[in-house]
Structure 1
Amino acid sequence: MEKIKALTSENGVVIFTKSTCCLCYAVTILFHELRVNPVVYEIDKDPQGREMEKALLKQGCNTSPVPAVYIDGKLVGSTNEVMSLHISGSLIPLLKTYQSLS
């Protein structure tokens, strides 16, 4: 879907979420704690949200379309993948460019 492609290619870190999703909130908070300000796009507030969900599932979001985390235009995954990367120490190097100094 073009909207997903545009958002992920124009922004370094994008998290597709739903406003009522607690896992989406947790992933977003993790990025803020790592001093990264991601673009957070709530697909449930978009008229094309259902189509976006289907497109995210087709791109590789396995069990749930959200949260869907993209870094440098590439799908990193959902909560499990992000947390696994963080625990293994592999997430911060991916985010280095996007971390603020404050």
Structure 2
Amino acid sequence: MTTNESTSVVVDRTTGVAKMEAKLEAVYERVHHLANGNAVVVFSVSGCCMGHVAKQLLFGLGVGPTVVELDKEAAGMEIHALLSRLAAGKEQHQPVPAVFIGGKFLGGIETLIACHINGTLVPLLKEAGALWL
């Protein structure tokens, strides 16, 4: 490899990394916009039983969450990767379903159900403006 070829490879890798970072930034902005623009957002995969449970729990409480089915989204894989990072920070086992309430990442199905059982879910939903009881 000549010096020019080596430099070209470095430039191509740098450009590729920059494009990847720009795409991740756009995905982050989209998730941030969705989470902050809606009282409750559920990121799921259609046909996922745990996503179904999360949505049914919220619907049963009278909440109409914004639902994003990642397998039907153009950037679904990238959003899933971002949610995996968020879930890892909360020591969750699965990145989806991922629930945001009041613009904040609540967690997955385990956290949602735990909050429901311990009585903290309804106050969170009220504070976010998702319930008016």
TM bin, normalised by shorter chain, reads over 0.9
Q: 2:39 aligns with which of 3, 8, 12?
A: 12
For 1:40, what is the secondary structure of its paired residue? strand
- Quote the residue 1:76 is aligned against: 106
- Quote the residue 1:63 is aligned against: 93
- Quote the residue 1:36 is aligned against: 63
Per-residue CA deviation, residues 58-102 of structure 1 (Å, 9 max, x unaligned), is: 12353222100000110000010000010001101111231266x
Is the 1:27–1:79 contact (alpha carbons within 8 Å) kept by the matching residues of 2?
A: yes
Is the 1:15–1:28 contact (alpha carbons within 8 Å) kept by the matching residues of 2?
A: yes
Aligned length: 101
Stretches (4+) displaced over 6 A: none
Q: Among the aligned pairs, what percent are the same residue?
A: 38
Is the 2:54–2:97 contact (alpha carbons within 8 Å) kept by the matching residues of 1?
A: yes
Paired residue type of 1:82: L
Given the alignment of the two structures, is residue 92 of structure 1 paired with residue 122 of structure 2, yes or no?
yes
Paired residue type of 1:38: P
Q: Which has the higher contact order (CA 8 A, sep 6+)?
A: 1
- TM-score, L = length of structure 2: 0.72
- Quote the residue 2:74 is aligned against: 47
Alpha-carbon separation, structure 2, partners of 1:78 and 1:46: 19
Alpha-carbon separation, structure 2, partners of 1:94 and 1:100: 12
Alpha-carbon separation, structure 2, partners of 1:98 and 1:49: 25
Alpha-carbon separation, structure 1, partners of 2:59 and 2:76: 24
Is the 1:37–1:99 contact (alpha carbons within 8 Å) kept by the matching residues of 2?
A: no
- TM-score, L = length of structure 1: 0.92
Alpha-carbon separation, structure 2, partners of 1:25 and 1:100: 24
Paired residue type of 2:77: R
Aligned-residue Cα RMSD (Å) equals 1.3
Paired residue type of 1:13: V
